[in-house]
Copies of this chain bind each other. A is one copy, B any other.
Amino acid sequence: MHHGLGQTGCVTDYTPPLADIDFVLGQCGLEDVASLPDFAHVDVAAVPDLIGEAGRFFAKTIAPLNVIGDQVGSVHNPDNTVTTPPGFAAAYQQYVDAGWGAVAASPEYDGGGFPFLVGVAFEELMSTANLSFSMCPLLSQGASRLLEAHGSDAIKATYMPKMITGEWTGTMCLTEPEAGSDLGVIRTKAEPQADGTYRLTGTKIFITFGEHDFADQIVHLVLARTPDAPAGTKGISCFVVPKYLVNADGSLGARNDATCLSIEHKMGIKASPTCVMSFGENGEGAVGELVGELNGGLAAMFTMMNHARIGVAVEGLALAERSYQQAREYATERLQGRASTTPRGERAAIIEHPDVRRMLLTMESSIEAMRRLIYVTAAAIDLGEHHPDTEVRERNEEIAALFTPLAKAWSTDTGFEVTSIGVQIHGGMGFIEETGAAQHLRDARIAMIYEGTNGIQAMDLIGRKLGVRGGAVVMEHFDRIEADIAAISDRGLSATQNALTLALAATRDATLWMGSVTSVDDALAGATPYLRLLSMLTAGHLMVQSATLAAGTDRETSQKRTTRFFCEQLLPTATALVPAITAGAAALAPSN
């Protein structure tokens, strides 16, 4: 299967981890989700086949382009067009032709209407095969989801059908040079016109696939401020600004004044063009239409935020998985030194060395833990949006809100750490770009930053999530973990039980401390280590749940192995974060 560089390094193909994905979909209650009235059209029995088919398509079509995407990168041309790397545009056309764009979309627009939980599995497969490629369809889906939720009927009729299929792509234009984490200071202006449209003027940065050669039309969703808008976040509106105006018959009309001035030279995801977009470069302003309420732009964006953040969490998981597959193959093939079991005069594959096994198992167990945390959050989002019972819906909304910053920040931190281990397993070859291991590390680094830096996620957790319903949401979460720990009957998991018990007690203490402090800075000073502790406790709990479910099946041994390693060897370092969490802000104050 591999078209490798042989003994001194190899670039492997991608093998979709379908068995673990199917198992986790079961653990996360796909049956329950798919049985909701809103998903009556979904044949849950067909999901594994669909996932398998998607995995094969991505492995065959876009995974082989991952390396050339990094080597060539997207290029900005003097005429302000962007050329993506060789093969990318053709692969995108295949993606559209095969109908993959519509899987997660609403059946109202001929989409598959699958739950987000299934969409996440689909995202994992696509992102692992080729992260840079996947960013175009995923951003487009986010944009069309926002239009569906907030757009007028006319706007939806104009844009959605072709965005669903992927014939047109979409962007999210939020960030400006002075407005990154803090969108309240956005300066892009939108002037109302007599015909009800707006004229937009301003510069947006970090616009993923803001310009490209995948499709003719690009539908920009742009945050901007109308002349009389209140200051700050309450004065921001969302506008749809197409690259080409759309004629009444749906055909493309005049070129709109939305220009890609340049693309960034980045550490990774080089095939994904990160654009500086200028609206109104030629003086009149770019033509846009209001989406949703005036001054309700940020609120509209925020309704998409859980989905988008889970999408980035998936990126951490995806690159960890890709890195792991490559490192595992290398460790099996590369001969170096002698292990305790090596016959005299022979050499051992490096996987025989205990230290390499530690690295591989750290990767494998972390990947499983990430997948469980992300998928269970996606299931909570589905139940929170679609369950007919208000009580169940609200409880799941709360869980989704609590788990989303954990999934985003911890999975991207861990994804980066795992890709670094992948480099290390390759030794000197890991530092050589042709090996391909370094690309995963470089690509993974961005996920800790965008869609809200991981520091912002930690502030969100402390400031907005822990206090929900007087702290009852997180306490109920702890009670469920406690009950599941108590229910562990497998004596082979007694050390795991102990480690989880200690982690839970530490997290309860840290959470009570967070609830008790009077200074917000004291709480925020411990936000990042607290997020790590709560994430690893939650993931450890899910790993135990997996081990329990796997008991008596052919996964029992392998699942118990990763569960034990994660809970007994990795989790204690998170438990030890309590002193850092509760040290307060004074300990961090500059001394000069």
Interface residues, chain A, with chain B CB atoms under 8 Å away: 7-8, 175, 177-178, 180-182, 185, 205-206, 264-268, 335-340, 347, 351, 353-361, 416, 420, 423-424, 427-428, 430-434, 438, 441-442, 445-446, 448-450, 453-455, 458-459, 495, 499, 519-521, 524-525, 527-529, 557-558, 561, 564-565, 568-570, 572-573, 575-580, 583, 585, 587-592
A376 to B557, CA, bound (A): 47
When A336-B182, A455-B353, A583-B568 are in contact, do A449 and B427 touch as well, CB less than 8 Å?
A: yes
Q: Tell me which of A335, A357, A569 has the highest count of chain B C-beta atoms within 10 A of its own C-beta.
A: A569
Instruction: Check B573 against A355 for contact (C-beta < 8 Å).
Output: no
Instruction: Check B565 against A572 for contact (C-beta < 8 Å).
Output: no
Instruction: Check B433 against A449 for contact (C-beta < 8 Å).
Output: no
Selected from B339, B525, B570, B587, the residue in CB contact (under 8 A) with A564 is B587
A570 to B495, CA, bound (A): 25
Instruction: Check B583 against A177 for contact (C-beta < 8 Å).
Output: no
When A354-B524, A524-B353 are in contact, do A337 and B181 touch as well, CB less than 8 Å?
A: yes
Q: Tell me which of A266, A358, A432, A558 has the highest count of chain B C-beta atoms within 10 A of its own C-beta.
A: A358
Q: How many copies does the complex hold?
A: 2
Give chain B nearest CB distance to A179 CB in angstroms.
Answer: 8
A564 to B591, CA, bound (A): 13
Contacts of A182 in B (CB 8 A): 336-338, 347
A454 to B521, CA, bound (A): 38
Contacts of A181 in B (CB 8 A): 336-337, 427
- Chain B residue at smallest Cβ distance from A429: B180
Contacts of A558 in B (CB 8 A): 591-592
A366 to B589, CA, bound (A): 16
Instruction: Check B449 against A428 for contact (C-beta < 8 Å).
Output: yes
A432 to B450, CA, bound (A): 12
- Chain B residue at smallest Cβ distance from A454: B424
Instruction: Check B455 against A430 for contact (C-beta < 8 Å).
Output: no
Instruction: Check B432 against A520 for contact (C-beta < 8 Å).
Output: no
Instruction: Check B180 against A358 for contact (C-beta < 8 Å).
Output: no
A438 to B446, CA, bound (A): 11
A499 to B577, CA, bound (A): 12
- Chain B residue at smallest Cβ distance from A450: B428
A520 to B588, CA, bound (A): 43
Q: Tell me which of A177, A424, A572, A588 has the highest count of chain B C-beta atoms within 10 A of its own C-beta.
A: A588
Instruction: Check A569 against B583 for contact (C-beta < 8 Å).
Output: yes
Contacts of A445 in B (CB 8 A): 420, 423, 431, 438, 441
Instruction: Check A355 against B572 for contact (C-beta < 8 Å).
Output: no
Give chain B nearest CB distance to A376 CB in angstroms.
Answer: 23
Instruction: Check B573 against A577 for contact (C-beta < 8 Å).
Output: yes
